[in-house]
Structure 1
Amino acid sequence: MELEFDIFKAWVKDRLKMDLDSYKEKQLHRRITSVMTSAGCSDLKEYAALIEKDSHVRRVFLDYITINVTEFYRNKEIFDEFEAAVNDVLVPRFNSLKIWSAACSIGAEPYSVAMIMEKHKIRNAKIIATDIDDTILVKAKEGKYKDSELKNVEAKELEQYFHRSGNDYLITDAIKSRVQFKKHDLLLDRYEKNFHAVICRNVTIYFKNEAKNEVYRKISESLEKGGIFFTGATEAIYNPASFGFRKLSTFLYEKV
């Protein structure tokens, strides 16, 4: 099984341009076995062939492996700290802001940032949102969300920035226009530079330590001095100085 799994990972890297070697082995084994079984396949060779010929199966595989679970203002208390840092640290420090929401999933995170920009009348801000999954990026650009994904959005914001569409909510064009979506692989692609804030949350927990540290190093290099790195609720960095960071709070780090 181990050899078969290694062959499958090599196939995924070659055909789907996704590096599974950097993911934690036990979690990855479990997730792939689960999604393979759900597709009705008995082994990875059969599953690879099905992924190759069936676009729906391929989309389900990518969605499941890339962990597309999110909501607006995820971990609200922590997001409030980021909002305060934007106002108290970044706005006084920089004439304009360039913000990157990495592994943005369905767009709830970068749109949350866009709403913060609107709320505080920060006009000179560029928000770039990236993800590895083409299908998810299409959904993010559509900007349609369920009640459960909006539970942290205040009633005033819901009325101001969303339109009801059946059982869903559509985000307004004014918020949409503030976010630029791109495809990007944190493990394989080059990182853009000159950011004043990078948000990368609930992603590196699935990576091996070597891959995680490489992501942190590259994020540090992509930030301007004085910029902020915002991590996830289970992703505190225990040696921030080794990446050129100074700890502002448990999940906020300043590039020094």
Structure 2
Amino acid sequence: METEFIEFYHWVKKNLGLDLFSYKEKQLQRRILTIMKNTTATNLTDYCQLMKTNPEVKYEFLDYITINVTEFFRNPELFRTFESELVSKIAPQFSSLKIWSAACSIGCEPYSVAMLADRNQLSLTSNKIIATDIDQTILTQAKKGVFKDSHLKNVSDTDLKNYFKNEKDDFYISDKIKRKVHFKKHDLLLDRFEKDCHVIICRNVTIYFKSEARDKIYQQFSESLVPGGLFFTGATETIMNPERFGLKKMGTFMYQKIG
């Protein structure tokens, strides 16, 4: 079975552009077998063939494996600290901010940052926050800016009134906020990283990678930051010895580029 999984990883990397070799094996294999059970495939070879001929099966696999769980202002206490650090310590250093939201899923995170940038009147480089994800289907959804009530549980009444329009069961993000976010496809394992960033947010993603891949990503994020820049990680992610990546601990799950 192990050989079958390795062949499957090679096929996925070649045909879907997703590097599964850097994911934690047991957890990944459980997820693959779980999503495969929703299809007619009885083994990984058949599953590959099914993904070749059925785009819906392919996109369901990508959506499931890349784990698109998100909400606005996820872990609100951490987001409040992030906003405070951003406004009081980071923004005053620079004339404008280049902000990158990596692994942004359906857009809750970059739109959250866009809202706090708007209410604090922060100047954004090119008037945009860069938001990236590996999943093109998810990016298409993010660009629409349409959300359900379950995504909005941490949104204040003021922000809800100022930045959303409610129609039946859907909440539409305002055009003012949509214009502040530029979405594009990006693979943290395979693609080049942004440069000269003042802020990078990548939360609850690296926990799914092996330590070698995780360390490489942290190093690249550090190289993407300007000296004094801020890296905001997830509530399940702590960087041990951040100095080896040219970072220092700034607060809970926040690190600053040493310069």
1:187 maps to 189
Name the SS for the 1:3 alignment partner.
Answer: helix
| C-alpha distance in 2 between matches for 1:82 and 1:197 | 10
Q: Which amino acid aligns with 1:141?
A: K
Q: CA deviation at 1:40?
A: 2.8
Equivalent position to 2:222, from 217, 220, 223: 220
CA contact (8 A) 2:95 2:123 kept: no
Q: Which amino acid aligns with 2:210?
A: K
Mapping 1:96-175, distance limit 5 Å = 96-125=96-125, 126-175=128-177
Q: Which amino acid aligns with 2:124?
A: N
| C-alpha distance in 1 between matches for 2:103 and 2:30 | 22
| C-alpha distance in 2 between matches for 1:193 and 1:138 | 24
Q: CA deviation at 1:58?
A: 0.7
What CA deviation, in whole Å up to 9, does each residue of 1:84-121 have, x standing for no partner?
11101111111110000000000000000000011111
What CA deviation, in whole Å up to 9, does each residue of 1:158-196 have, x standing for no partner?
111011122010101100000000100000001110000
Q: Does 1:249 align with 2:251?
A: yes
Q: Which amino acid aligns with 1:56?
A: E
| C-alpha distance in 2 between matches for 1:242 and 1:124 | 29
| C-alpha distance in 2 between matches for 1:175 and 1:17 | 31
Runs of 5+ unmatched residues, structure 1: none
Name the SS for the 2:37 alignment partner.
Answer: helix
2:27 maps to 27
Name the SS for the 2:104 alignment partner.
Answer: coil
Name the SS for the 1:188 alignment partner.
Answer: coil
| C-alpha distance in 2 between matches for 1:152 and 1:16 | 35
2:8 maps to 8
| C-alpha distance in 1 between matches for 2:208 and 2:226 | 27
| C-alpha distance in 2 between matches for 1:47 and 1:177 | 39
Q: CA deviation at 1:124?
A: 3.4
Name the SS for the 1:241 alignment partner.
Answer: helix
Q: Percent identity?
A: 56
Name the SS for the 2:129 alignment partner.
Answer: strand
| C-alpha distance in 2 between matches for 1:88 and 1:73 | 19
| C-alpha distance in 2 between matches for 1:68 and 1:9 | 20
1:48 maps to 48
| C-alpha distance in 2 between matches for 1:78 and 1:144 | 24
What CA deviation, in whole Å up to 9, does each residue of 1:106-158 have, x standing for no partner?
00000000000111111334310000000000000001111110000001111
CA contact (8 A) 2:105 2:139 kept: yes
1:78 maps to 78
Q: CA deviation at 1:51?
A: 0.8
Name the SS for the 1:38 alignment partner.
Answer: coil
Q: CA deviation at 1:39?
A: 1.6
What CA deviation, in whole Å up to 9, does each residue of 1:2-55 have, x standing for no partner?
111000000000000110000000110000000001123210011111111111
RMSD: 0.8
Name the SS for the 2:255 alignment partner.
Answer: strand
Q: Which amino acid aligns with 1:161?
A: Y
| C-alpha distance in 1 between matches for 2:85 and 2:27 | 34
Mean CA deviation greater in 37-46 or 13-22: 37-46
| C-alpha distance in 2 between matches for 1:52 and 1:71 | 32
Q: CA deviation at 1:238?
A: 1.3
Q: Which amino acid aligns with 1:203?
A: V
Q: Does 1:196 align with 2:207?
A: no
